[in-house]
Chain A
């Protein structure tokens, strides 16, 4: 028979076309025409992706098994059905998009088997087939079906015999056989239903199985990665539908705990970081995020428009044997490189400064900033120079670009890149940006701050981030980012004719470094506002609220990028516009406190506990605390406060007053001398919250009116809290004095 049907790529059988039935019946008499027809139809199918080969081959087998029900052992068919039903169940909700394509093909396929199959047969086939096609494109199913290859091999050998058997059928046989087939099909359908139920129950058991929680096995041995991965996926699936799939005695927190532990073991994160990243997404997305961090993002290069254009560069590189294509609609200068026969960092074009290796996400802040020719622009953390040179290119070598970097060795690389790409309007400085700007130079039209960050968005590039970043980093680095951003804002000329913009960007996905920093700065500088980045729809909008913290409504105009969504490094871009001059009171006080600092701007930990730090830090709850652990030393705040409260209440009681009635105003915390009361009333009102929470455990009733008051205070806005703050301050002082006397 030549090649045989093994090589034929068949899809699921199409719905029957009645018009062709009679034709085929006639043709059945003439054998040889079948073979070419069979070959012709599949030839179409061959054009489909190879992924379908397996699926089609699988379908071919069951098709034949159905068609030639008699010769085939029903056992085999059942086995196949069982497998496929399981697969089908797993992916039931997948939409059947392929059905349309398949219909056409199915028709052709069906032509051959028309007389053998009943009409009902065909339709049933199509349904199942469609399911199978979409199902089998899922990765999971591949694993499942792999095991089935061997039995199928034997089936293929049967096929040739079967095909012979087919041809022997005549009109007389057809009816009987088709009836048989109908019966068989019915039985199969019932079995399929059964399987469905079983499978569903099985998955229930899988989640409910104590194994998910009791699979720790031998803790001494190395973890079984396969098992871990399976458990992670299972748990995530359960979390998606806790009611039906979750065990009764296990709460959501238990499942989350389990999956986080597994993620830590499987991917190598610290628990702290895993939890932090987990909280940013839904469970499914989080899994996709963690997975995406294991694979590198594609290599991207940017053409230097000062020396060449994208087309000629692409041409030149293709001539050298580089496989590339434009990176996307969102950029006119980016090229994505798939393969390269030559090292990209050493081609003559690279050395001549025609392009630079730059991550796609690094294009975005410069595109958002959009520096115009003849402007004065500042890049506060410029090394290694991709963004600086892009800005120069956009400005066509006019205007002035000041590229600053606090680290001298990195600044040297920056110089190299600037010269190589032919930027003539750049000054490179090596200063601490927090103090230098606007002190050394100010009045810029635009400022770009690509702040040093924890790097949670570039884990795929640097896996060390998984383990090296801890809680302290997430306090120290956002603090530095705040200072830098304030300096950036103060360096901009609000009355600039063409500019007045600041772009803040980080290569991180955590909220502490992104939205929280912007929110802080919005509060500190009433003369700025968030504006649209100009990047269009590319990317996801920033969060307007997160874990209890609420951000400005315009935060949605900022843009977030994720490795699993846009296939670029994790990134955050926010564009701000300065609308007025900096209020005098704020600028002087804050810059004076920052001037004495000597922190490194790299991603490593800072170690300057001894320096007075007056800028408030947002703790994990989003509330600010005036008390930094470092500057105060180990005061046991809560206990002291409790004591004070208790003493206060005691005093009132001794006096004969009702403490609950009198204490209707929220207490102040132990403000140290460092806090500036007038400027930071909100922090005080906010920090009363944690105190209220602490005291709640003891005297919930007394605090409730206070808490209510507090929320109302915050709701009223800044002005009211200022006055309230002052009032509170006076009251507090009086109370403290009294309590001191009493004690």
Chain B
């Protein structure tokens, strides 16, 4: 429909009139009766005259305020401004070195290191001492065993000697004498003789 300066009220009536005009041609368009109002029924304010504004009017000349969108709205990334001292970047830390140049920092680190070291040394020393102790203990044990064995041997020897003495003591004193001597000689006789070719 060509735009007409008419109120919107004329719309339906126009539509109706169109339908009516159509109906006059062909009576089969709509069976129902249309409530069509004639244009004259609709009340419309009288068409106003709209003056065209001057090209160089003040309102035109003044810049129109454009809408300012904030950064957040536009989804721009935030600028890297200088962060004041002490403020730590919250997430995604920048790659950088933290220098230790002040007295306290160094002392702290030093203390830590010292402690570690001393701990190590202590443990080493302890281990060494322990090892030493163990070795000492082992040695002592070995010694003890040796002495034990020796004692045993001595005891056995003493036993034999005593027995021999008793036996011969009952018999003759000569026998006693001879017995040990014979014992000796027999022992000598039993001795192996090595001959060198």
A adjacent to B, CB under 8 Å: no
* Residues of chain B whose beta carbon lies under 8 Å from any beta carbon of chain A: none
* Residues of chain A whose beta carbon lies under 8 Å from any beta carbon of chain B: none
